[in-house]
């Protein structure tokens, strides 16, 4: 996989380069330390994954994601940050980032996340998932789900889209949409991302 790194801390950048250099399936094709350079490099090189620092000098790495997602939609975007603020995670999630990794993650965790995202899955740091779901929203209503709705909720936690869920469960996409709607209503969630994070944090299994 071809990777671009966007980070304005030389030591962090050097560490990331070192970690990636020993992985035979990972090829670093570009580096940037600010938003403008990052946008130019991503658009020019069209990497498989852009690993982007959340805070770049006085700007946000999310600006890179906003612009490049329209220009290079095939690229996967992973936010790398030391921030454990709920709002930062919420904004990144709303932009549809493919991953969110804390800088204190172990190298093997980063490598695993890159490979997971490359294969089309989402990866959110478990600490952030636990933080967002700390209120245990939905727990009291979990038993209201039917076995099929539990399966759909588990699939959401695996990062699957409606088409893939339909194929996995041998049902139509229309039926999947109905089940997702029921899951959101019963657990009092506003969107499927909340449900997915909940399922990831609780390791939901089908009943």
Assign residue 67 a region (left: φ > 0; alpha: ψ between -120 and 50; beta: otherwise): alpha
74 vs 86, higher pLDDT:
74
SS3 content of the chain, % helix, strand, coil (to 5): 55, 15, 30
Dump strand ranges (E) for the chain: 2-6, 27-32, 49-53, 55-56, 59-60, 76-81, 99-102, 123-124
Assign residue 116 a region (left: φ > 0; alpha: ψ between -120 and 50; beta: otherwise): alpha
Residues 115 and 165 in one domain: no
Asked whether residue 207 is domain-assigned, the answer is no
Handedness of CA 197, 202, 203, 205 (dihedral sign): negative
Using DSSP, how many helices (H) and how many strands (E) does the chain show? 10, 8
Residue 145 · residue 153 · CB < 8 Å: yes
Asked whether residue 78 is domain-assigned, the answer is yes
* pLDDT at site 171: 94
Residues 127 and 175 in one domain: no
Handedness of CA 73, 114, 16, 79 (dihedral sign): positive
* pLDDT at site 203: 61
What predicted TM-score, i.e. pTM, was given to this entire model?
0.65
| CATH code for position 12 | 3.40.50.2300
Asked whether residue 179 is domain-assigned, the answer is yes
Say how far apart CA 56 and CA 164 lie, in whole Å.
36
- pLDDT, one tens digit per residue, over 115-124 is 999 999 999 9
Q: Which three-class secondary structure state does DSSP give residue 171?
A: coil
Residues 19 and 83 in one domain: yes
The residue segments making up the domain with residue 66 are 2-132
Mean pLDDT of the chain: 88
Residues 156 and 105 in one domain: no
Residues 94 and 176 in one domain: no
Residues 126 and 184 in one domain: no
Asked whether residue 90 is domain-assigned, the answer is yes
| CATH code for position 198 | 1.10.10.10
Least confident among 112-121, 124-133, 161-170: 124-133
Say how far apart CA 67 and CA 195 lie, in whole Å.
27
Task: Give the mean pLDDT of 151-179.
Answer: 93
| Token representation of residue 85 | 């603020």
Tell me, what DSSP letter sits at residue 96?
A: T
Q: Which three-class secondary structure state does DSSP give residue 178?
A: helix
Residues 8 and 89 in one domain: yes
Task: Give the mean pLDDT of 60-65.
Answer: 93
pLDDT confidence bin for 195, thresholds 50/70/90: confident
């Amino acid at each position: 996989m071809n990777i671009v790194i966007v980070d304005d801390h030389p030591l962090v950048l050097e560490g990331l380069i070192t970690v990636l250099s020993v992985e035979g399936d990972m090829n670093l094709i570009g580096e940037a330390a600010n938003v403008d350079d990052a946008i130019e490099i991503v658009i020019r090189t069209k990497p498989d994954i852009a690993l982007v620092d959340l805070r770049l000098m006085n700007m946000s790495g999310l600006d890179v994601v906003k612009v490049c997602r329209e220009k290079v939609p095939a690229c996967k975007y992973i936010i790398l940050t030391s921030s454990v603020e709920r709002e930062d995670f919420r904004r990144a999630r709303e932009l549809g980032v493919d991953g969110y990794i804390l800088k204190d993650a172990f190298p093997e965790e980063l490598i695993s996340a890159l490979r997971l995202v490359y294969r089309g899955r989402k990866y959110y740091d478990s600490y952030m998932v636990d933080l967002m779901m700390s209120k245990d929203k939905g727990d009291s209503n979990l038993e209201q789900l039917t076995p099929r709705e539990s399966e759909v909720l588990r699939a959401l936690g695996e990062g699957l889209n409606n088409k893939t869920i339909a194929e996995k469960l041998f049902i139509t996409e229309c039926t999947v949409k109905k089940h997702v709607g029921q899951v959101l209503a019963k657990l009092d969630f506003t969107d499927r991302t909340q449900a997915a994070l909940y399922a990831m944090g609780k390791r939901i299994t089908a009943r």
